[in-house]
Structure 1
Amino acid sequence: MRSLGVSLLLIAGASAIVDKFNNNLVFRSPFFDEPQFGHDTVALSRRTLQFTKRDQVPAGGFKDEKYPGFYVSDLSNAPFIWSSGVNFTHSVASGDPYDTSVILWTRAVPLPSSSGQLPDQSVPVCVSYKVFAESDLSGKPVDSGEAFTSYDVDWTVKVEATRLKADTKYYFQFTDCANPSVSSPVGSTRTVASSNTPADKVNGGKPMTLAVFSCSQYQAGWFNAYGYAAQNTTADIFIHLGDYIYESVGNGAKIGRAVEGRELATIHDYRQRLGQYRSDPDLQYAHQIAPWIVVWDDHEIANNAWKAGTSNSNDTAQGCTFSPSGACFTDRKLAGTRAYHEWMPIRQLDAKDQLRIWRNFQVGKLFDLSMLDTRQYERDITDLTYNRAVIDTLKDVPQRSLMGANQERWLLDTLSKSKNRRAVWRIIGQQIVFTQVVNLSGGINLDAWDGYRANRNRILDHLYNNQISNTIVLAGDSHANWVSDLAHANDTVNYDSATGRGAIGVEFAGTGVTSSSGTFTKGNLTDSMAVSAQYVNKNIDLQWNEGFFRGFFTLTLDSSALNATYYSMRNVTYRNLDAFASANFSVKAGENRISRPVAGGKVLSGALKYPAN
């Protein structure tokens, strides 16, 4: 009969194991309270604890087979773990900074033992993490802890570093619990100012810079924009508006960027694709040096996703319509969602709302950053090509929504609260172009806000009716650059395009990191600029358009002004840092429009509505 002391030891060991599984937030997201979809950490700990029993039985009655080693004999603080080494295969990352905490991420893959064996499913890898105030990791750690990972979550680790000071830079590193000499690269991150910090005191009184990205297709080019931003700007936070990965295969072999696997369908597929993207050295370095705030668009699951389908996989009353990937939409969405939460340094906010990634960050009284999900959450049916004529008849239906009622109410309430707490700026990070854009054939993109006009009008009405100033909308998705005043579509009575009078804010929409822009790249630069000139002439609110170059933009803001700089990468067919600033825009606090002359009347690519003579 097992002694009481041994039983208590096993109980203590089980509790410690559960804690270390729970410390890794990946095991609990995105389905905290849904064991059938998530990971039961109690069950995982029992599976691991089976190996501890060999230390609690008489040696004479035990078959002494090879087993996973342990790191000390006290099971309450060091349960059985893999002790043959780990490889931090994808460096480190951080994200979702608050004033006292930030998410830290890594991936710790077990190395084979001396006999060539790898751990079975019962054996976790243990990693420790430490956070320091100094770049050389000297002094006492500000925060530290241990967490388990396993094959169940693709060996990813996501922990929350806490007890941090607001508006402060930190440095962090992961190590192998079983061999502390094996460590990850050192990452740098930061917290943001507490919500009541005066705007002119945020970031130590210096302007704060956000680098904004979207649409990074691996096979379409090298991720030079990430590298340039990381090495040649002073960005405090990196923002990604979606299409971080693409589900398609394509052919990037001619530039050394062929993707692995097939069109994404299963959890293995999505993990493999995320892993390949994160192997890019420029993307790794950009994640290593600063915290990221991210949302998904459609390609994190599949093209033109909406709440019940995509362009090639839809669930119907009769069952699934199968895609070339071999999976129906519900399965793909579950697999893609889980893999995204494993691989991205993002928080899970609501245990009862598993798909919610829309969230708000209060950065002192300088700005609120509201990150939306206009794609996966509750988006009504979109343009799937074959149904375009039908969708065109629905674009003005009052109940039609990009966001779902819950998210829309939350956004409007967040905007009002931001004004009431006297934040200077309200920045809305979301996926698709908000302002109306009439294309060269006279049509509109029904997959953007133009296909959901009533939803757009409700947001604009809320801003106008409540006199909410200094709203900046960010957008990606289109693979081109668009800078516009925010006003109701086709309103030439209340809005003056020449002066910006009557606008209620500004939209900055960015091109892709690599994804092609189609119409704009069919000729040379001169041809592309001619296309842009047609766009700005056809659209009242649009002040600048450019689509020839791939790149990103930055926002630098303080309590008096916001400045946007658009960066163009000269060539993405090979790895390089050759780029230039193609245009600069300014918005003065309280003016709710782009400062005139727009971009100083001169840009290096694209077309302005009112260029300088």
Structure 2
Amino acid sequence: MWRFIVSLFFFAGASAIVDKLDKNLAFRSPFFDEPQFAHDTAAISRRNTQPARRDTVDAAQFKDEPYPGFFTSDFSNAISIWSSGVNFTHSVASGDPFDTSIILWTRAEPLPTSSGQLPDQSVPVCVSFKIGTTQDLGSPVDSGEAFTTYDIDFTVKVEATGLKPDTKYFFQFVDCTNPTIASPVGMTRTVASINTPAEQVNGGKPLTLAVFSCSQFQAGWFNAYGFAAHNTTADIFVHLGDYIYETPGNGAHIGRAVLGRELATIHDYRQRLGQYRTDPDLQFAHQSAPWITVWVCHIIANNGWKAGTSDSNDSTAGCTFSPSGACFTDRKLAGVRAYHEWMPIRQVDAGDQLRIWRNFQIGKLVDLSMLDTRNYNRDLTDLGYNHARKHPSSSPCVVVVSLADESRRSLMGANQEKWLMDTLDQSKSRGAVWRVLGQQIVFTQLIQEGSIDFDAWDGYRENRNRILDHLYNNKIDNTIVLSGDSHANWVSDLARKYTRSNTRD
């Protein structure tokens, strides 16, 4: 059985400005069918319509001949884009590889002028990108230009297309106005096309997935990212959630304190993501291979479900937990916006908010299905105050425990659950050898010292049983469930049906 290993040119017209803004996917709404959450790139371009000096001053005063934006042009006289240089503050990244395209990411922060000035909101930054099969990028396969602005924290996210399947690539971003200012060269790859025989995927070599979860900046150095990037031959990095944590902290024994407060506003989430990405091992890991990620509770706040978290909801009390006074919905939209700006992830074409669940078909070797078992239409979870606990003057509060075996209870929501069943069926029908489910919380039954984690799948047993029943009844084999959140390594042989005894807290 075949194996895999888990382990720009600038033109003066307003429409051209909009085109270059639209090239940057980070301006888009995280939800395809919810355009109100997108940035209005036409409005942003209108900030840029004041005439350039070339339009108002005799051209004889300038040394260069071509007008800004045409071939071999000199951008130094064009006030319509920033021309005092940029700093690629967080290296480069790539993600969500398909067989002929991939998402490329960077951040291009404008450098101050010699007098110390920075651009106001009317001036965009222009970066170009290229991708090719050689490290010198002498013959790029795809290239292009995109604008970025302060509206999206100067992040840049583009889709490189026209690539060959199952191929290694190199890519780089460059300041449009000064080609000597370039980002580091990143490495990435496409995946095999859907009908590639399993034995031919990855050139016949084992396909290696490096799997991560739960990375807290103040709790420890990110050595694991560095080890995987420097010392393994991982083809794809898979992150199962808790890429950042929303809580503050002083760095404990290592003294690596996080900036800001508990996350609530768009500034908070951008600041935290940016600080995490200053870690050199995390930067190099993003630079070295494509990533496939999914968010989990701490990208918004702890123990999230469809209507709140353990310390915020849309009630008055939930809106006053922090100095920002942010409600759960405000936090959720801010966190999702920042995540889509900072992560090399595709938007999913769906009519539902917050959909991040998606499938990657890697030849006939494996289907990797990334699930959202935290935020998407998840029923009430363990929030601490509704957990089974004995009070001195009352009987135990057993809200969450009493719901654990409720037949209609859902961890995934009906739409996602049906999608998963259909995806598993299609995977078997197309002859994929393996099926891997990447998701955020412990799937197996786990009883530790008589206690059960009702925030994991143990609190949604019938949902778990429906998945296992589907696998058993349809004879879908070779299915592996990856889980995050536990802060421990577990290996389990999944079986149906779990016992319903020993459910005391």
With normalisation by structure 1, the TM-score equals: 0.74
Q: Secondary structure at the match of 2:19?
A: helix
Q: Which moved more, 1:142-151 or 1:74-83?
A: 74-83
| Equivalent pair of 1:96/1:291 in contact (CA under 8 Å) | yes
In structure 2, what is the Cα distance between the partners aligned to 1:116 and 1:70?
A: 29
Residue from 469, 472, 492 that aligns with 1:484: 492
Change (3 A) 1:352 1:121: farther
In structure 2, what is the Cα distance between the partners aligned to 1:54 and 1:182?
A: 24
Change (3 A) 1:71 1:16: farther
- Matched residue, 2:439: 430
| Equivalent pair of 1:435/1:489 in contact (CA under 8 Å) | no
Shift of 1:15: 1.6
Shift of 1:137: 2.2
| Equivalent pair of 1:71/1:83 in contact (CA under 8 Å) | no
Identity of aligned residues (%): 73
Q: Secondary structure at the match of 1:416?
A: helix
Shift of 1:152: 0.2
In structure 1, what is the Cα distance between the partners aligned to 2:498 and 2:421?
A: 23
In structure 2, what is the Cα distance between the partners aligned to 1:125 and 1:363?
A: 36
- Matched residue, 1:24: 24
Name the aligned partner's letter for residue 411 of structure 2: L
Change (3 A) 1:70 1:447: farther
In structure 1, what is the Cα distance between the partners aligned to 2:468 and 2:246?
A: 33
Change (3 A) 1:34 1:463: closer
- Matched residue, 1:324: 322
In structure 1, what is the Cα distance between the partners aligned to 2:249 and 2:155?
A: 27
- Matched residue, 1:296: 295
In structure 1, what is the Cα distance between the partners aligned to 2:128 and 2:350?
A: 26
Shift of 1:12: 6.6
For the aligned residue pairs, the C-alpha RMSD in angstroms reads 2.4
In structure 1, what is the Cα distance between the partners aligned to 2:65 and 2:318?
A: 47
Q: Secondary structure at the match of 2:493?
A: strand
In structure 2, what is the Cα distance between the partners aligned to 1:479 and 1:144?
A: 41
| Equivalent pair of 2:94/2:188 in contact (CA under 8 Å) | yes
Q: Are 1:415 and 2:424 matched, yes or no?
A: yes
In structure 2, what is the Cα distance between the partners aligned to 1:36 and 1:470?
A: 42
- Matched residue, 2:110: 110
Name the aligned partner's letter for residue 105 of structure 1: W
Shift of 1:474: 0.2
Shift of 1:27: 0.3
Change (3 A) 1:87 1:250: same
Residue from 464, 468, 483 that aligns with 1:475: 483
Q: Secondary structure at the match of 1:433?
A: coil
String of CA shifts for 1:420-474, please: whole Å, max 9, x gaps: 000000000000010111120x221000000011110110010011000100000
- Matched residue, 1:365: 364
Change (3 A) 1:295 1:71: farther
In structure 2, what is the Cα distance between the partners aligned to 1:425 and 1:265?
A: 40
- Matched residue, 2:400: 391
| Equivalent pair of 1:70/1:81 in contact (CA under 8 Å) | no
In structure 2, what is the Cα distance between the partners aligned to 1:194 and 1:398?
A: 39
Q: Secondary structure at the match of 2:374?
A: coil
In structure 2, what is the Cα distance between the partners aligned to 1:182 and 1:334?
A: 34
Structure 1: gaps spanning 5 or more residues: 1-9, 493-537, 540-613
Name the aligned partner's letter for residue 183 of structure 2: S
- Matched residue, 1:220: 219
String of CA shifts for 1:203-242, please: whole Å, max 9, x gaps: 0111110000000000100001001111111100000000
Q: Which moved more, 1:450-459 or 1:23-32?
A: 23-32
Shift of 1:46: 1.6
In structure 2, what is the Cα distance between the partners aligned to 1:70 and 1:427?
A: 58
Change (3 A) 1:105 1:70: farther
- Matched residue, 2:469: 461
| Equivalent pair of 2:219/2:252 in contact (CA under 8 Å) | no
In structure 2, what is the Cα distance between the partners aligned to 1:116 and 1:203?
A: 50
- Matched residue, 1:141: 140
- Matched residue, 2:160: 161
Shift of 1:70: 13
- Matched residue, 2:5: none
| Equivalent pair of 1:32/1:38 in contact (CA under 8 Å) | no
Shift of 1:33: 5.0
Q: Secondary structure at the match of 2:278?
A: coil
- Matched residue, 1:73: 68
With normalisation by structure 2, the TM-score equals: 0.90
Change (3 A) 1:11 1:189: closer
String of CA shifts for 1:479-505, please: whole Å, max 9, x gaps: 01110011124469xxxxxxxxxxxxx
Q: Which moved more, 1:10-19 or 1:172-181?
A: 10-19
| Equivalent pair of 2:304/2:374 in contact (CA under 8 Å) | yes
In structure 1, what is the Cα distance between the partners aligned to 2:99 and 2:173?
A: 22
| Equivalent pair of 1:70/1:83 in contact (CA under 8 Å) | no
In structure 2, what is the Cα distance between the partners aligned to 1:15 and 1:153?
A: 20
Q: Secondary structure at the match of 1:90?
A: strand
In structure 2, what is the Cα distance between the partners aligned to 1:12 and 1:127?
A: 16
Shift of 1:405: 0.6
| Equivalent pair of 1:103/1:158 in contact (CA under 8 Å) | yes
Residue from 411, 436, 460 that aligns with 1:402: 411
Change (3 A) 1:214 1:58: closer
String of CA shifts for 1:531-563, please: whole Å, max 9, x gaps: xxxxxxx99xxxxxxxxxxxxxxxxxxxxxxxx
